[in-house]
Amino acid sequence: MLILISPAKKLNIEPIQSLINPKKINFENNLISFPKFLDKSEILIDILKKCSPLMLSGIMNISADLAELNFERFQIWSKNHESYFNNKPALFMFNGDVYEGIDALTLTSEQIIKAQKHLRILSGLYGILKPLDHVQPYRLEMGTKLEFDKSQNPNLYTFWGDAQTDYITEEMSEYKSHSRIIINLASDEYFKVINTKKLINNDIKIIKINFEQNKNGIYKNISFLTKYARGLMVKFILQNNIKTIQDLLKFNLDGYSLFTEHSKQDNLIFRKDN
């Protein structure tokens, strides 16, 4: 089983040593890995370094202050993550609603190691990340339109091509056939970079998880609540050593339960009333 999630715009840039309990998590042994596609990340950074804060504000649809901040981040970004001063494991760097749901600081060392094996983060800059891959602060959503060679790379989706899909396919080739399952907890913006047909052709099953919340008697997807629920689902899988879909159906955190009437084998719906 492999779980896919999106990154977050909100970051926690405090040093990891100030956040974790060294008696609980062995920092030196457990929190060292690096992104696989740094060569491709460097290509993107070279483009982003040439963008002025005003240009970044326009293409990213962000404020002038955020544009200036990310301009400075791109200027000091270094491919040499191993020695660079401000890198940090992705699971602890990202700090949005999904990651609040995961609440990585409450996980045990064993659960974090399990996350390293079974959790992947789709990224506009890094392509795909393991939770403990060290990343530098950045903002680059998958839907951002950069000035590529339009004949070859008109957007980030074509820039990344099948890189993430091939990476996942290779990883899942080591799984037993009944365990070749993708749990899709990523947003549509990020998940559509994945070539689903290629995964299916390699006997990999994809299960999408949807969350609905009751608002004035109507069940609907409320964005920030759904993001938080995605994180809770990740936490549930890690803390309960979930290995099968049947066990996944038991998800019950924060008042959610399976809505069996509309759920399908490849599209599970969980609802909560309050």
Above pLDDT 90, what percent of the chain? 77
Which residues neighbour 67 within 8 Å (Cβ) at sequence distance 6 or greater?
A: 53, 54, 56, 57, 60
pLDDT greater than 60 at residue 27: no
Q: What string of H, E and C letters represents the secondary structure of 15-80?
A: CHHHCCCCCCCCHHHHCCECCCCHHHHHHHHHHHHCCCHHHHHHHHCCCHHHHHHHHHHHHHCCCC
Mean pLDDT of 91-103: 96
Q: What is the pLDDT of residues 172-210, one digit of tens each?
A: 998 888 889 999 999 999 999 999 999 999 999 999 999
pLDDT tens by residue, 132-156: 999 999 999 999 988 766 656 678 9
Average pLDDT over every residue of 164-169: 96
Is the pLDDT at 72 greater than 80? The verdict is yes
Give the mean model confidence (pLDDT) for residues 254-258.
95
